Structure 1
Amino acid sequence: MKSYQLIHELISLVERQENENPGKEISLAEFSGFLSNNIAEEEITALSEDVRFGKNEAPAQDLAYQLDNSIGRLFVYMSRYAKSYIKKALDGTAIQSAEEFTALSILLTHDHLSKSELISNNLQEKTSGTEVIRRLIAGGLMSQADDLKDKRSKNVAITPLGREVLFDIFVDMNQVGKMITGNLTESEKLALYHLLQKLENFHLDHFRKKTISSKADLLSFADNIQASV
């Protein structure tokens, strides 16, 4: 009986798509896309309620539950969960933060980098990135030397102690990765990875080109994105 109900739902969806596209032959690929969109809309409706929200300010909640805003909110939540797991994994080590961990991990794959290159690769602002480098140098995990090509610049490299500390942490950080991906299946992880990599490519390009330097830039680019999708 459950199979019959499923077939009935599929037939109803085919009829709905035909009604929305009168006179047009619907291909399997087009129906597959239509089906995916409808499933996604149903899932968004079913899962949109945020357990943190109360009953007040319905107009504000309507804005919060718009698709882009919901995704943004979930990204914030995920980043905070990840930071809490990383903090626990780093407990008792010579590394104090996720930013220090990623800075050393990037350096591990290079002979050396300039301070500005490392800060940029670590997706940090100059002030906070400089403080991370200062702490790592003070802890003996990173060394610095004059840049032979540019006397105004300093190059940094990971030290033997930094390598040792980093490899000790890798084991626990692997468990953090498993915790972050949670109860996703292998296929769901692959789908999520594909989408996140697409977003990473988009945002990294803006970050490196420094295209978003003001509120006006943010609003302008956001409008252009919506118009081009």
Structure 2
Amino acid sequence: MDAKDDLKSFLKWSNTQSDQGGNIKSEEPEWTGKINGRSADSVINTALVHLYRYAKIQAKAAITNSLFSTPDEFIYLINLQSAGNMSKSALIKENIHDKPAGTLIIKRLLDKGLITQQSSGIDKRSMIMSISAKGTQELNKSMDKIRAASANVTGPLILEEKIKLITLLQKLEDFHFAQNFEKI
């Protein structure tokens, strides 16, 4: 059995434990405005926006004294490093940006020498993006701070809660991806 199978088994077990009254409480929490009709959807949306902002604060602190201007820049590099070379449009889509915003991020990365681009052998108009040696070096130099920032965002959660949250967030992300990208 390889590590991937072990992880799948663990996730399945964790979900079963949570569904059977494991460590994660399933009782309905209280929230501001609930008594006045504020919906769970509203609370979730607000919490996601707030968490994004907290994560952005942590990420900005992590990239101080680096070549990165924004957290998006290191996220683009992480995607190229983990997924490999990809087209410019695929990289933008992977990061859920509109084309103008993604193009600006890619331009900054190219100008700094953190990525390279070359024409696709199939379609000369399509550009294939790659992380450069300089990009890999800068990313590696910043990874400890980036990991610490990520850990700060999820700070109070235990492993089982993190796994359950990943499961729920992936479910939401899959839903929204299908709604927004699979129709194209």
The one-letter amino acid of 2:32's match is E
1:210 deviates by 4.7
1:107 deviates by 1.1
TM-score (norm 1): 0.65
Distance 1:141-1:74 versus aligned 2 partners, 3 A rule: same
Of 97, 118, 139 in structure 1, the residue corresponding to residue 70 of structure 2 is 97
Distance 1:100-1:210 versus aligned 2 partners, 3 A rule: farther
Contact 2:58–2:150 (8 Å) recurs in 1: no
Determine the C-alpha separation between the residues in 1 that align with 2:52 and 2:81: 24
Deviations 1:96-125 (A, max 9, x none): 112111111111134421111111111110
Larger Rg: 1
Q: How many residues are aligned here? A: 163
Deviation beyond 4 Å, 4+ runs, structure 1: none
Q: What secondary structure, in the 3-state scheme, does the structure 1 residue paired with 2:128 have?
A: strand
Give the alignment of 1:1-229 within 5 angstroms. Answer: 40-41=27-28, 43=29, 45=30, 48-49=31-32, 62=36, 65-210=38-183
Q: Give the CA RMSD over aligned residues.
A: 2.3
Distance 1:183-1:121 versus aligned 2 partners, 3 A rule: same
In structure 2, runs of 5+ residues without a counterpart are 1-19
Q: What secondary structure, in the 3-state scheme, does the structure 2 residue paired with 1:209 have?
A: coil
TM-score (norm 2): 0.80
Q: Identity, % of aligned pairs?
A: 32
Determine the C-alpha separation between the residues in 1 that align with 2:69 and 2:162: 29
Distance 1:40-1:133 versus aligned 2 partners, 3 A rule: same
Of structures 1 and 2, the one scoring higher in RCO (CA 8 A, sep 6+) is: 2
Deviations 1:125-156 (A, max 9, x none): 00000000000000000111112211122211
